[in-house]
Amino acid sequence: MPAPGHHLDPRLLRAFLAVAEELHFTRAAARLYVAQQALSRDVRRLERELGAELFVRTTRQVTLTADGERLVPYARRALEAQDHLLAAFRQARPLLVDLNSPGLATGRRVLHRARELAPEHELMARYESGLTHAAGELLAGRLDVSFGRFAGLDPALRAGLDHRPVRFEPMAVVLPEGHPLAALEAVPLSALAGEAVYAGAGNPRTPEWTDLARQLFEGHGVEVAPPAPLAVGDEEFQRLMAKTRNPVLAVVDFPAMPGTVVRPLFDPVPLSLVSMTWRKGLVHPGFDALRRAALELSVEADWLRRPAGGWIPAIDVDLMGMHS
């Protein structure tokens, strides 16, 4: 019998059952679409591993031994269990894709393209509002993929994750209507001097974004607005921003809230390097489609071309170089 901890290859059991049911090596080999020599080799290997003779072979016929007869029902149950397991996972659970916020376009466009590429798979959106929070959910297996600034994650989180840069996303500022800068089509960074700009300070889900803002504002006389009560949901966020009337650091695709305008920043053009991020070792039939979609859109839309005068933190530049 097999030694403790020994595992039988299911292929050997399939070879055995085919011969047991056909009682003919040639017919069994044809049924399994393998060479007769390979089938005979698998049966002999199974006999060695079990320490038992399973067939009596003569030039005229093949018959089961008593041990062979005893093995048949066990082999059938083992292979049926394997077939049920494989069938269950071929009907895979949805791939859970965090888009951070309903208003952000990069992840949403990648997800929509992936659904076009693989309509047979279920790819479901989630909105976790920050890559730092999403990273913990990725590592716990409660999410599969997220989008955001990978370089801003704690190294302990990055160690269990992998990523692919997708887009240099130009940044913008959301201004209350009536703000002196709202009349401009684009806002130079220097014009924000003396302002307190909201960038998620105090939000435990988004420290990677707050860190990006601090690096951008350093030396330009711009303050990161102090922590505000954590607003859950678009309606509460809009109410809180209308109350404080702080400009909000965002990206150019961010949809304007009621009573606000979105203006791109320039001089320099600040960039948020958005990466598609997943836990190492992720296997899912929809994941390949998502990676392909990210690559296609990065090329088609020229998302990874860094514009002249574009600014990103040195750590993001280094991470981009390492990935390349």
Q: Is the pLDDT of residue 4 over 50?
A: no
What integer pLDDT is reported at residue 228 of this predicted model? 81
Q: Do 198 and 249 meet the contact criterion of CB atoms below 8 Å apart? A: yes
How many other β-carbons are positioned within 10 Å of the β-carbon of residue 159? 10
Q: Is the pLDDT of residue 293 over 70?
A: yes
Contacts of 69 (CB under 8 A, 6+ apart): none
pLDDT-derived band of residue 6, with 50, 70 and 90 as boundaries?
A: low
Q: What is the pLDDT of residues 22-43, one digit of tens each?
A: 999 999 998 888 899 999 999 9
Comparing CA positions, the residue from 172, 133, 167, 151 lying closest to residue 255 is 172
What integer pLDDT is reported at residue 90 of this predicted model? 60
Helix (H, G, I), strand (E, B) or coil at 8: coil
- What tokens were used for 13? 């059991």
Q: Is the pLDDT of residue 233 over 90?
A: no
Tell me, what DSSP letter sits at residue 107?
H
Q: What is the pLDDT of residues 62-97, one digit of tens each?
A: 999 999 999 999 999 999 998 877 766 665 689 999
Q: What is the mean pLDDT of the chain?
A: 90
For the chain, domain boundaries: 10-90, 95-323
Q: Is domain 10-90 classified as CATH 3.10.450.50? A: no
> Once rounded to an integer, what is the mean pLDDT over residues 270-279?
96
pTM over 0.95: no
> Which of the listed CATH numbers 3.40.50.20, 3.30.460.10, 3.40.190.290, 3.40.800.10 matches domain 95-323?
3.40.190.290
Q: Is the pLDDT of residue 1 over 50?
A: no
What integer pLDDT is reported at residue 222 of this predicted model? 97
Q: What is the pLDDT of residues 122-178, one digit of tens each?
A: 999 999 889 999 999 999 999 999 999 999 999 999 999 999 999 999 999 999 998
DSSP H helices in the chain: 10-22, 25-32, 36-50, 66-90, 105-117, 131-139, 155-158, 207-217, 234-244, 287-300, 314-323
Q: Which 3-state string (H, E, C) describes 171-209?
A: EEEEEECCCHHHHCCCEEHHHHCCCEEECCCCCCCCHHH
Pairing of strands 269-279, 161-176: antiparallel
Q: Do 167 and 106 meet the contact criterion of CB atoms below 8 Å apart? A: yes
pLDDT-derived band of residue 5, with 50, 70 and 90 as boundaries?
A: very low
Helix (H, G, I), strand (E, B) or coil at 169: strand
Handedness of CA 53, 54, 56, 60 (dihedral sign): negative
> Once rounded to an integer, what is the mean pLDDT over residues 33-60?
92
Q: Is the pLDDT of residue 114 over 50?
A: yes
